[in-house]
Structure 1
Amino acid sequence: MANYQFLEPLQFNNGITLKNKIVMAPMTTMSSFYNGKITQDELNYFAARAGGPGMIVTSVANVSDNGKGFEGELSVAHDEMLPGLKNLAATIKKDGAKAILQIFNAGRKSTSQVLRGETPVSASAIAAEFPPDLETPRALEEEEVEQIIKDFGAATRRAIQAGFDGVELHGANTYLLQQFYSANSNQRSDEWGGDREKRLRFPLAVIKEVTETIEKYATDSFLLGYRISPEEVETPGIRLEDTLYLAETIKKQVDYIHLSMGSYKRTSLNDETDTTPILKKFAEKIADEVPLIGVGSVDLPKDAEEMIDGGADLVAIGRELLREPRWVEKVMMGDEASIRTTMSFADMEELGISGAMQTYLKESFASVMNFTPNGEQAENYQNQAAPMEGFEKKL
């Protein structure tokens, strides 16, 4: 077995220890039932990948009925979801991986069709610029904002009861937590809007609610993570200095911070003169006080090792674990030559990828998957946003 840093254990500040530093990144499966309950297809998908990573973050689950972003999305909005969530946690943990439930409210990144006739909600009644065909959301009333904060707490309670080892707040990819922090989508004049400090109140209130829920219901150590997108491309919008400020503000309130990028080598999308990798900027800002999860275009062990050298404490792998579910095991066996970095349409069922997810990958993410034959090599996302990040920008 090669002597890689990413195969070494990692201990969080609260005592939870991962068997290695590989994290399975959260990926949309589109495979839940219409009501958000877990399917056997999803359980099979996670079971196929549970043996290697030290930690697995689920596909995102909505905490509120008005927070559903797409069909086939997992839900943690009601107690009736608990039996399926228990099966999901147990499936992920069967070989020693820690199970993290990613939770969110999609906000304006939804449609009235998905919400069964209800208008999507957001901080303000401002439509997203990308994709350009999304409808204008309805601004949340103050009491609705308070209710969604409570919904995040209730979802955390359910995650604890289901046996998960933690929750990850999805504050990235232009979803509701990010919408409140952004001057683009939040132009409120009440206590939840205004300058940067005021726009940060909603994310901080959610963190506080979730923390109090963990303290009340968790009998063992339980992780709280936060995922962030480094910057937005809209004007006005979030810039790197804003997200670095967010990271510095929350670093003592969460157990880890998780970047969302298409490449771990990414540099600023808004300042072409800034050649410092974003990963390095965040590593320096949190200064080893809380683990940082890097992500984006890790295919081979050398990429994972380079990410750690670049400042990441943990390495999140997404697309490559779709193509190669036993990536970690093959590295540990010294069988790196057999690692697949391309995917055949003919292999997807064997890889535990459901029919719904197969269609999703073919139609929406063909450009990032390294499909064969006649597929396109995935683009280099060092200087552009990847499709899964919720916006589009190329330098």
Structure 2
Amino acid sequence: MVQNFLSNYSFPNGLTLKNRVVMSPMTTMASFHNGMVTSDELAYYEMRAGGPGMIITGVANVSENGKGFEGELSATTDSMIPGLTKLSKSIKQDGTKAILQIFHAGRKSSTKILRGTQPVSSSALKAVYPEDSEVPRALSENELLQIIDDFGEATRRAILAGFDGVELHGANTYLLQQFFSENSNQRLDDWGGSLEKRLKFILCVIDTVNETVKKYADKPFIVGYRLSPEEIETPGIRLKDSLYLVDKIKNEVDYIHLSIGSYKRTSLNEKDNNATLISQFAAITKGVVPLIGVGSVELPEDAENVLADGADLVAVGRELIREPHWVQKIEAGDVESIRTKLSPFDMDELAIPTVMQVYLKEAFSRVMHFTTDSNAIQNYSDSLAPMEGFEKKL
């Protein structure tokens, strides 16, 4: 049987992927306290490299006050470039392309994580979840302009470190999403209020990053954007808002990447809308910009279903934690040996960093299909998943 996800894909700027499989950006929590890359991280990526056409790293912060959790990568200073160079090289095996995901956590941080500094956001409004979220300080215009520049500088460092692109993390309730959402952005200046004004910060970041690429990249370098299609808070981002966002940026980025827990997901807010989210975004992106579909892809048929639904590329996340050689086994016709469950006793041999093992057992235990967990959730077709900001069944 022909498997379309194993065929190559070329971006308009000339960057070619050997197949359409993308390793999703996933948190390892394994960087040093200052955000420098560790040997544990390098080993984790090296084991998963060589199969997917493209690997997107776990997120790296662009500003000192943008750190969202301990063990997070940093792209804040030039001192990070040597470690980031090692990271890109660990990924770029057998033709796999390396993408650095960059972000600012905004209010999704804490004074403790920021070593005594109050978190910042578009407005001084605390997040609904978690309940112990802190009230952030509203960014001044000069401060938000500096963060926009920081995204450009992080992109420059990614170019110098040998990455093939960057992904702007505008999903999972981080700062880019905070500016776009009416739930978190209630500013009364040019950076908030109407839908168009709430989009301004995102457009400025994209513009700055694109200008940086033009200035420093001497080979094809792509810029992607990841978004969460909906928020369930009121007020909050609705599907029509995200479709509007994609329509506005589709000619300014090299790909769109959805953040959803299941590729079968339909709207969480519009119960009479039975079309999958992937198909609705594909209606806007098709023929203009590639769309990465994602969510609980475990077997070859799942990957084919994502492409059949309108996506151009398919992201595989948790399955590549469980099965680092997922692509290679499919190519070799060895599908029967693919692990779709994870034994806690196998995590060392799978090069999963020790701190990440704890994270998976605690925060992600219900989505990892642990062999020791008989109550594991099998999919997120009707709910938000932990990786999307918080878990809530509707």
For Structure 1 versus Structure 2, the TM-score category normalised by the shorter chain is over 0.9
1:72 aligns with 2:88: no
Alignment partners' CA distance in 2, 1:95 and 1:131 = 41
Structure 1 residue 13: Cα displacement: 1.2
Structure 1 residue 277: Cα displacement: 0.3
1:5 aligns with 2:14: no
What residue in structure 2 maps to residue 366 of structure 1? 365
What residue in structure 1 maps to residue 237 of structure 2? 238
Map Cα deviations across residues 65-115 of structure 1 (whole Å, 9 max, x no partner): 100000000000010001000000011002210100000000000010000
Q: Is the 8 A contact 1:19 1:97 kept in 2?
A: yes
Alignment partners' CA distance in 1, 2:93 and 2:133 = 40
Q: How does 1:113-132 map to 2 (within 5 A)?
A: 113-132=112-131
| Bigger mean CA deviation after superposition, 347-356 or 368-377 | 368-377
What residue in structure 1 maps to residue 209 of structure 2? 210
What residue in structure 1 maps to residue 103 of structure 2? 104
Map Cα deviations across residues 220-263 of structure 1 (whole Å, 9 max, x no partner): 11000000100111111100000000001000000000000000
Structure 1 residue 375: Cα displacement: 4.2
What residue in structure 2 maps to residue 133 of structure 1? 132
Paired letter, 1:369: M
Structure 1 residue 271: Cα displacement: 1.4
Paired letter, 1:380: N
Q: Is the 8 A contact 1:59 1:102 kept in 2?
A: yes
Structure 1 residue 286: Cα displacement: 1.5
What residue in structure 1 maps to residue 40 of structure 2? 41
Q: How does 1:274-289 map to 2 (within 5 A)?
A: 274-289=273-288
User: Unmatched 5+ residue regions in structure 2?
Assistant: none
What residue in structure 1 maps to residue 220 of structure 2? 221
Paired letter, 1:81: M
Q: How does 1:147-158 map to 2 (within 5 A)?
A: 147-158=146-157
What residue in structure 1 maps to residue 172 of structure 2? 173
1:305 aligns with 2:304: yes
What residue in structure 1 maps to residue 257 of structure 2? 258
What residue in structure 2 maps to residue 91 of structure 1? 90
Structure 1 residue 394: Cα displacement: 2.3
Paired letter, 1:121: V
What residue in structure 1 maps to residue 332 of structure 2? 333
Map Cα deviations across residues 273-309 of structure 1 (whole Å, 9 max, x no partner): 1111000000001122110000000000000001100
Structure 1 residue 125: Cα displacement: 0.4
| TM-score under structure 1 length normalisation | 0.99
What residue in structure 2 maps to residue 14 of structure 1? 13
Q: How does 1:191-206 map to 2 (within 5 A)?
A: 191-206=190-205
Name the SS for the 1:127 alignment partner.
coil
Structure 1 residue 373: Cα displacement: 2.2
Structure 1 residue 379: Cα displacement: 3.5
Paired letter, 2:287: D
Paired letter, 2:100: L
What residue in structure 1 maps to residue 145 of structure 2? 146
Structure 1 residue 378: Cα displacement: 2.7
Q: Is the 8 A contact 2:51 2:327 kept in 1?
A: yes
| TM-score under structure 2 length normalisation | 0.99
CA RMSD of aligned residues (A): 0.8
Map Cα deviations across residues 349-395 of structure 1 (whole Å, 9 max, x no partner): 10010110000101110000000124433332101011110034323
Q: How many percent identity over aligned positions?
A: 63
Equivalent pairs counted in the alignment come to: 394
Alignment partners' CA distance in 1, 2:331 and 2:84 = 30
Q: Is the 8 A contact 1:269 1:393 kept in 2?
A: no
Q: Is the 8 A contact 2:183 2:234 kept in 1?
A: yes
Structure 1 residue 176: Cα displacement: 0.1
Paired letter, 1:368: V
User: Unmatched 5+ residue regions in structure 1?
Assistant: none
